[in-house]
Every structure is written in structure tokens, then in C-alpha cells.
Amino acid sequence: MIRFAAPALTALALVASPVAAADLAAMTDTEREAFRAEVRAYLLDNPEVIIEAVNLLEERKAQAQVQTDQALVQANADALFNDGFSWVGGNPDGDITLVEFMDYRCGYCRKAKPEVAKLLANDGNIRLIIKEFPILGEASMISSRFAIATRHVAGDEAYGQVHDALMDMGGDMTDVTLRRLADGLGLDSDAILAKMDSAEVSAEIASTRELAQRLQISGTPTFVLQDELLRGFLPADQLELIVADKRDG
């Protein structure tokens, strides 16, 4: 007896027409057994049909997810692209916007950093927005608070320097470590550390968390490229292909 996995059974149902389904419901027990025997014999002779049906099902699910993601991006466009506080890099006037939800302790975020830098260097017409999304524990939260506090105290250029440094740092995030980082960049470490637990910094992190929840984002890195959600790490060449497709579209 052949036992099909649930996706295969669902996929096989895709090939049954409404008429066939109605006829099957009206069959006698003998007719139903004969029909099942025919289906079984056909599948034994043509097992590739199951794979084709499962592939079709997965394709339809993927298409549905793309449509859902596009609707979510459209509904949250202002919060994504013009929230008034997220750091903007690359070309602020670029024709393509790339948003990155990131965590400083995420290994794949660190892997993605040079790929995003390569994309920006090769293109020159991409607007990059960084969303601080600390989800990997206390060190992640401390790092994000420090980065955001730096922007409040010292501005966007200093934020960019701290962001890059934090992406490369390991070890514990202590006051001593952060003070050394700020002092090394010529920043006011006292002011930045004092700002870290402020209501303004907390509000920005909370706002980004709420946005991620609305977008059904649960991991990092997650990118939003124009109207498309890209979940997970992507190398620069793949990002470049998607950018080219957006421009052609």
C-alpha cells in the first residue's frame, strides 16, 4: 500500500476537477475501490506525476507568499521608507530603496554586510535604510541602543562608523568596551552612554519591533527591496539581479 505525505495528497487534489470530485462523492463503494485502484496503478506507472504536482503546489504557495508580502510592504510603506529616525546611507536620492532589518550579533547579518557594501559600490543609485532589530539577546539590545544613541548625540556620520565597528566586534558589550569604541572614534562617550536608556532610543526600537511584527519578520537579516520582502542572506550578485529586475519592471 502506498502512503502519500500530506503535501503530495494536497498536490494530487489539485489535478482533480470539480466534476471528478462530485462524481467521486456519488460513487458506490465498489466504484470507489475501482477508481482508487486505477489511480494507484497510474501513479505506480508514472511516479513523476507526484513530484510534478508537489512542485506545482509549492510554486503556487510561493506566488501567494509574494503577493502577501507585497501587500504588507505597501500597507507599511511610510514606516519602512520614511519613519524619520532610521539611518539612511548609500545614495539618499537613489531610485531604488533597500531596507535591512539587522542584528549586530547575527552571523548572517555580518556575512551580508560586505555584500550590501559591494552592491552600493557597484550601483551608486541605491538608498539604504538600516532598521535596528535586536532579537538575539542582551548583547544585541545593548549594541543597538549604543548605535542609536550615537546617532542622537553625534549624528549620521558617527552612526555609520559605530554601525560598521559593532558589526565586527565580538565579546561582551560592557560600558568599558563601548566607551573605548566611542573614544577611539573621537566621540563623546559619556553623552552616548547616558543616552542609551533614554525614552527616545527605547521608542525607536519598539517602533521597529512593531513594524517587523506587522511584516511577519522574525529573523535577520531581512531585506525589503522596493516592494519585495527578501528573507535571509543574499550575495551581492543576486541582489544586483533583483535590482535590475525592479528597474526593468
State how beta strands 126-132 and 96-102 pair: parallel
Q: Are residues 205 and 181 in the same domain?
A: yes
The domain of 64 spans: 6-71
Q: Are residues 92 and 56 in the same domain?
A: no
Note whether residue 1 is domain-resident.
Answer: no
Q: In whole angstroms, what is the distance from residue 249 CA to residue 103 CA?
A: 31
Q: Are residues 145 and 168 in the same domain?
A: yes
The CATH number of the domain where 217 resides is what?
3.40.30.10
Type of residue at 154: A
Per-residue pLDDT tens digits of the chain, which is 249 residues long = 344 445 444 545 544 444 445 466 778 888 888 888 888 888 888 888 778 878 777 777 767 667 889 999 999 999 999 999 999 999 999 999 999 999 999 999 999 999 999 999 999 999 999 999 999 999 999 999 999 999 999 999 999 999 999 999 988 899 999 999 999 999 999 999 999 999 999 999 999 999 999 999 999 999 999 999 999 999 999 999 999 999 987
Q: Are residues 10 and 28 in the same domain?
A: yes
